[in-house]
A and B are shown apart, each in its own frame.
Chain A
């Protein structure tokens, strides 16, 4: 069958030959395919390998930009992050992990924060963020960059939440925090400090006051006490968090005598070291499990020990002992580790008859935190679970429609990077909610775990280098203890990176490649993490996957009922090679379907573009195209040769040469008195002088071109006439018989109507489902 893309089988439903023309190959971001262990370990998905690689190259500004992509508070994380990436580092098994956190701190120190310009406001729905800790700041920042007006409400006079009031200055200097927060706010976030949300009415007032979504990120501000007899009778037993808050607010009153800190987490260490700095001595940490179970990072513990903090493990307080109205010490009991409990840690069990007394002038309880939820009405018990706010795990929305919650207020006390991760997630949910009405954020699949073999010890470029820690000096108790790397040190340390995975993922190629050799770019993927297109031609090629695209495919999907049977996947449109196009625009005059247009009508140099969805394959354009940029797909030279071969079989003619009728394929040959070999094609207008001359050359003594009296393709008959005239002139010049080529008008047969109807169905469905 020649040339047709729509056929009729006895009037039945048309069989359609469909094409899904553009299969595009998309590279997928490498970090989603084979993330390095460090990157995979980061709750916020900071691409560790990328920025470490950039540091190793001495490209510090780019490294900082890479960190900022997922880490809203890089200077803070560079100092106090618990760095889960470091234990994940494959170098841990040899000479120790890279000092990743210290490397991050280094680039934030040397990197130029620059002036942060406010992001444009492109949305009219406003968001209120209650609380200015890392979760609140991150969510506010994401939403603001997403174009939403955002206001942060903070009860305290200064922003930062637990970063400001829970972390002591010797670890996180206030001016560093100030700069960091200023950079975040620089995106254009409004702030109301001293604005506490302490009642349900305060929340509803926000909703009614023009905010379309509210994020509760107030953290877990209240430290728990020990729940032992006597603790309420003295002010010398207090919660460590309250103690730290007081100190961070400026109360640096000296402490005399022995201080005992109860707990094994970061807050306990923080409180102990702070007490030491206020003159206390000795300072002992009492923990009911052993050193291995301590939630605090081992670096913190080591630094505390170096400063003189002592530890007593496997002991728990039982009673505060008060003598003469003053605390004299606590009564404790020794513990042993029993069976593992729910979280896998072995449960401490008291040892009978092991009670002992330990002297203490002050006891700081660092045994847990809970949220201050006085804005939740008492009768709304389902909002609260074990002192924390309840929010949906997948959407972060609370039971109150439009009110979201994230960070410690939901999870309980967690780390800063986990709060940042929660901030990113809730921002995505809020954006989805404001855009679509449902808070379902785009699911980001957890990156796959990739086993990187390590058969041989890695090359040692430099010995591991941890940052230097200052000792506790009188008069300088609260200056920052950890010293920053020099540039040389940072580069040397970064060069230890094994760069697990296919490439360094630094995406420097995306910035430098101004030609389109590399399929690289930064493409926002909804409101979630930006997707980075990586070069297809690198080792990433393995990551390529197919995705269908194109209006034709979309149209087919939109109108499946119009498609009875896709019997063959084959182009129904003309072939077009744009680089051959001279831009003469002759084809525009003959295409009645608008399938061809100039790429840029205002540009005189513009070439033509072909819309495959609109093309109906009449190929009249190909007949007028002077350069063969447009070619009839079904009438390719091979097809034409086959037709000619069929007509001019050796010995097949009767000696008088062949008579050939070139006709429209809607003419049923049986219903007509054909007086020669019939060449049926989609439209006779596409049979150009080259084809007719070839027929003559092969010995056709009579060539009849039959046009339809009412051509379904407007210009078919006109072109056929022109081609016949030109062929006659050519034959005449060559000395042949011009009269052997004639043109006749044939009546349009009945089948035409049905065919036209089928064509219309196809065209409609391919042009977008009749939408």
Chain B
């Protein structure tokens, strides 16, 4: 059990001078009583801590505040620490009936032996052991819920990733015993559940001889790169978002785009886990720059200053989330781009959800297509025929 004192030391919250720059930066500040500065400067009273532990559920943990904090307080980490306090009975209800939390909880009675990998098309080449692995994450689970509800098929991201790696003559390891990375449990305050998942995943990946873990999800990437080494120090493979890896290969001249310079303008949403948490903002832009015919138009706030898609993981969602999504889609549309690409399936789902709602409610919706960067990039790689790439990125008809 971490005490408030320890939490404040660990996250530098003791240095907070209550300047409230965090609150001015926070996209949620003032909504339903949430205020970063109040949270960080919480006093030692039991009631006060519990109150702020509940309030901390609302934090996006997007870390936008942290780039403004003159004292370098790890505010998102602080919120995460407080959520541990809330785990007993105070937890706010999770969106989507806690279905992803239920799926993530490590203790399954009558262990599930291995995941269904039938989504891997026959023309895709994968391996059982090897140095380079693709961590698929929750993409197949998302499809179970969201493909039917509003036509987002996230397994296409994984298919594209394998296809791109195949193009580099890499047969990525796909681990059937893979479990949820534990991001939502960790950020929900369940350290114990997270540690179990981290152990299970690192064990199975280590057993396959994996030395480089690639992900297509910003949250998985952050979790593998920053949080797993703390939980499982003895196994520390390299961890990269596929976008970083493709960028490296591109710079090394091993990767090329095909000759099709149909002009198109895109804009890029920095996922907070990738942009601010891991500092990866240039790689996706270099990829987009290199893609033929693609012009990148930046939103008014981008890179380290990018605004969150409204929800981190599936931890909390409310009216403020919708507002952020609407504003962000509006910003993207204002750039004149036809497509908003992002490197996180959560961003993709949340934006698609907002657009679907706009349709339901006959709301004016910013005219912009949202697409995953892995799919977008893979579609344009040299050597991939349009026919085979065609299965990528095509949304099934939205169910309304």
Binding site for B on A (CB under 8 A): 578-586, 604-605, 607, 623, 626-629, 631, 637-638, 648, 657, 688-691, 693-694, 697-699, 701, 722, 725-726, 729-730, 732-736
Query: B255 near A: Cβ within 8 Å?
Result: no
- When distances are taken between beta carbons in the complex, the residues of chain A under 8 Å from B321 are 582, 627
User: Judging by beta carbons under 8 Å apart, are B319 and A657 in contact?
Assistant: no
- When distances are taken between beta carbons in the complex, the residues of chain A under 8 Å from B145 are 689, 726, 729-730
**Would you mind naming 23 contact pairs between A and B with Cβ atoms under 8 Å apart?**
A579-B320, A582-B319, A582-B357, A583-B322, A605-B363, A628-B92, A628-B93, A629-B318, A637-B98, A690-B97, A690-B98, A693-B103, A694-B98, A697-B109, A722-B148, A725-B148, A726-B144, A726-B148, A730-B99, A732-B116, A732-B144, A734-B103, A734-B116
- When distances are taken between beta carbons in the complex, the residues of chain B under 8 Å from A586 are 360
**What's the least CB distance linking A147 to chain B, in Å?**
41
Please list the 5 inter-chain residue pairs (A to B) with the smallest Cβ-Cβ separation, ordered nearest first.
A690-B97, A699-B109, A729-B144, A628-B93, A690-B99
User: Judging by beta carbons under 8 Å apart, are B363 and A582 in contact?
Assistant: no
User: Judging by beta carbons under 8 Å apart, are A697 and B319 in contact?
Assistant: no
- When distances are taken between beta carbons in the complex, the residues of chain B under 8 Å from A734 are 103, 112, 115-116, 141
User: Judging by beta carbons under 8 Å apart, are A701 and B99 in contact?
Assistant: no
**What's the least CB distance linking A761 to chain B, in Å?**
32
Smallest CB gap from B91: residue in A: A637
Give a binary string over B21-41; 1 marks a CB under 8 Å from any A CB, 0 the rest.
000000000011000000000
User: Judging by beta carbons under 8 Å apart, are B318 and A627 in contact?
Assistant: yes
- When distances are taken between beta carbons in the complex, the residues of chain B under 8 Å from A626 are 95-96, 317, 353
User: Judging by beta carbons under 8 Å apart, are B32 and A579 in contact?
Assistant: yes
Smallest CB gap from A728: residue in B: B144
Q: A579-B318, A581-B318, A657-B109 are in contact. Are A733 and B102 (CB under 8 A)?
A: no
- When distances are taken between beta carbons in the complex, the residues of chain A under 8 Å from B362 are 604
Q: A604-B361, A689-B99, A730-B145 are in contact. Are A582 and B93 (CB under 8 A)?
A: no
From A579, A583, A735, residue with most partner B Cβ within 10 Å: A735
Give the complex CA separation of A580 and B310 in angstroms: 13
Give the complex CA separation of A435 and B92 in angstroms: 52
Binding site for A on B (CB under 8 A): 31-32, 89, 92-99, 101-103, 105, 107-110, 112-116, 140-141, 143-145, 148, 176, 317-322, 353, 357-358, 360-364
- When distances are taken between beta carbons in the complex, the residues of chain A under 8 Å from B360 are 584-586
Give the complex CA separation of A729 and B146 in angstroms: 11
Smallest CB gap from A691: residue in B: B97
Give the complex CA separation of A700 and B372 in angstroms: 37
User: Judging by beta carbons under 8 Å apart, are B93 and A607 in contact?
Assistant: no
Smallest CB gap from A725: residue in B: B148
User: Judging by beta carbons under 8 Å apart, are B96 and A730 in contact?
Assistant: no
Smallest CB gap from B96: residue in A: A626
- When distances are taken between beta carbons in the complex, the residues of chain B under 8 Å from A581 are 318-319
Give the complex CA separation of A584 and B103 in angstroms: 25
Per a CB cutoff under 8 Å, which of B31, B101, B176, B358 touches A579?
Answer: B31
From A623, A631, A690, A701, residue with most partner B Cβ within 10 Å: A690
**What's the least CB distance linking B87 to chain A, in Å?**
12
Give the complex CA separation of A736 and B93 in angstroms: 26
- When distances are taken between beta carbons in the complex, the residues of chain A under 8 Å from B364 are 604
Give the complex CA separation of A482 and B102 in angstroms: 85
User: Judging by beta carbons under 8 Å apart, are B319 and A583 in contact?
Assistant: yes
Known contacts A626-B96, A628-B95, A691-B97, then 10 further A-B pairs from the complex at CB < 8 Å, ordered by chain A residue = A581-B319, A582-B319, A583-B361, A584-B357, A605-B363, A628-B93, A693-B103, A694-B98, A697-B108, A733-B143
- When distances are taken between beta carbons in the complex, the residues of chain A under 8 Å from B92 are 628
Q: A584-B361, A689-B145, A699-B110 are in contact. Are A579 and B319 (CB under 8 A)?
A: yes
- When distances are taken between beta carbons in the complex, the residues of chain A under 8 Å from B95 are 626-628
**What's the least CB distance linking A627 to chain B, in Å?**
4
Give the complex CA separation of A637 and B95 in angstroms: 13
From B141, B144, B353, B358, residue with most partner A Cβ within 10 Å: B144
- When distances are taken between beta carbons in the complex, the residues of chain B under 8 Å from A579 are 31-32, 318-320
- When distances are taken between beta carbons in the complex, the residues of chain A under 8 Å from B144 are 689, 726, 729-730, 732-733
**What's the least CB distance linking A626 to chain B, in Å?**
6
User: Judging by beta carbons under 8 Å apart, are B115 and A628 in contact?
Assistant: no
- When distances are taken between beta carbons in the complex, the residues of chain A under 8 Å from B358 are 604
- When distances are taken between beta carbons in the complex, the residues of chain A under 8 Å from B109 are 648, 657, 697-699
User: Judging by beta carbons under 8 Å apart, are B102 and A694 in contact?
Assistant: yes
Per a CB cutoff under 8 Å, which of B101, B107, B114, B363 touches A604?
Answer: B363
- When distances are taken between beta carbons in the complex, the residues of chain B under 8 Å from A637 are 93, 98
User: Judging by beta carbons under 8 Å apart, are A580 and B103 in contact?
Assistant: no
Per a CB cutoff under 8 Å, which of A631, A657, A729 touches B110?
Answer: A657
Smallest CB gap from B356: residue in A: A584
Give the complex CA separation of A657 and B107 in angstroms: 15
**What's the least CB distance linking A642 to chain B, in Å?**
13
Per a CB cutoff under 8 Å, which of B97, B107, B318 touches A580?
Answer: B318
Smallest CB gap from B101: residue in A: A690
Per a CB cutoff under 8 Å, which of A582, A631, A648, A698 touches B322?
Answer: A582
- When distances are taken between beta carbons in the complex, the residues of chain A under 8 Å from B353 are 626
Q: A583-B357, A585-B360, A730-B141 are in contact. Are A735 and B110 (CB under 8 A)?
A: no
Q: A579-B31, A582-B318, A688-B97 are in contact. Are A735 and B113 (CB under 8 A)?
A: yes
Give the complex CA separation of A638 and B88 in angstroms: 11
Q: A604-B361, A628-B94, A697-B108 are in contact. Are A730 and B103 (CB under 8 A)?
A: yes
- When distances are taken between beta carbons in the complex, the residues of chain A under 8 Å from B148 are 722, 725-726
- When distances are taken between beta carbons in the complex, the residues of chain A under 8 Å from B32 are 579
Give the complex CA separation of A628 and B353 in angstroms: 15
User: Judging by beta carbons under 8 Å apart, are A701 and B110 in contact?
Assistant: yes
- When distances are taken between beta carbons in the complex, the residues of chain B under 8 Å from A657 are 109-110
User: Judging by beta carbons under 8 Å apart, are B112 and A735 in contact?
Assistant: yes
Q: A690-B98, A697-B102, A729-B143 are in contact. Are A735 and B115 (CB under 8 A)?
A: yes
From B105, B140, B318, B363, residue with most partner A Cβ within 10 Å: B318
- When distances are taken between beta carbons in the complex, the residues of chain A under 8 Å from B116 are 732-735
Give the complex CA separation of A637 and B317 in angstroms: 17
**What's the least CB distance linking A590 to chain B, in Å?**
13
Smallest CB gap from B89: residue in A: A638
Give the complex CA separation of A604 and B143 in angstroms: 28
User: Judging by beta carbons under 8 Å apart, are A688 and B357 in contact?
Assistant: no
User: Judging by beta carbons under 8 Å apart, are A693 and B102 in contact?
Assistant: yes
User: Judging by beta carbons under 8 Å apart, are A585 and B99 in contact?
Assistant: no
- When distances are taken between beta carbons in the complex, the residues of chain A under 8 Å from B357 are 582-585
- When distances are taken between beta carbons in the complex, the residues of chain A under 8 Å from B112 are 734-736
Smallest CB gap from B140: residue in A: A733
- When distances are taken between beta carbons in the complex, the residues of chain B under 8 Å from A638 are 89
Give the complex CA separation of A735 and B179 in angstroms: 11
Give the complex CA separation of A637 and B31 in angstroms: 25
**What's the least CB distance linking B105 to chain A, in Å?**
6
Smallest CB gap from A688: residue in B: B97
- When distances are taken between beta carbons in the complex, the residues of chain A under 8 Å from B322 are 582-583
**What's the least CB distance linking B250 to chain A, in Å?**
32
- When distances are taken between beta carbons in the complex, the residues of chain B under 8 Å from A584 are 357, 360-361
Q: A690-B102, A726-B145 are in contact. Are A735 and B176 (CB under 8 A)?
A: yes
**What's the least CB distance linking A276 to chain B, in Å?**
71
Smallest CB gap from A589: residue in B: B360
User: Judging by beta carbons under 8 Å apart, are B141 and A697 in contact?
Assistant: no
Give the complex CA separation of A626 and B143 in angstroms: 16
**What's the least CB distance linking B189 to chain A, in Å?**
15
**What's the least CB distance linking A532 to chain B, in Å?**
29
Per a CB cutoff under 8 Å, which of B97, B110, B115, B319 touches A733?
Answer: B115
**What's the least CB distance linking B252 to chain A, in Å?**
35
Smallest CB gap from A729: residue in B: B144
- When distances are taken between beta carbons in the complex, the residues of chain B under 8 Å from A732 are 116, 144
Give the complex CA separation of A690 and B112 in angstroms: 17
**What's the least CB distance linking B365 to chain A, in Å?**
10
- When distances are taken between beta carbons in the complex, the residues of chain A under 8 Å from B318 are 579-582, 627, 629
- When distances are taken between beta carbons in the complex, the residues of chain B under 8 Å from A689 are 97, 99, 144-145
Give the complex CA separation of A728 and B244 in angstroms: 35
**What's the least CB distance linking B142 to chain A, in Å?**
9
Smallest CB gap from B95: residue in A: A627
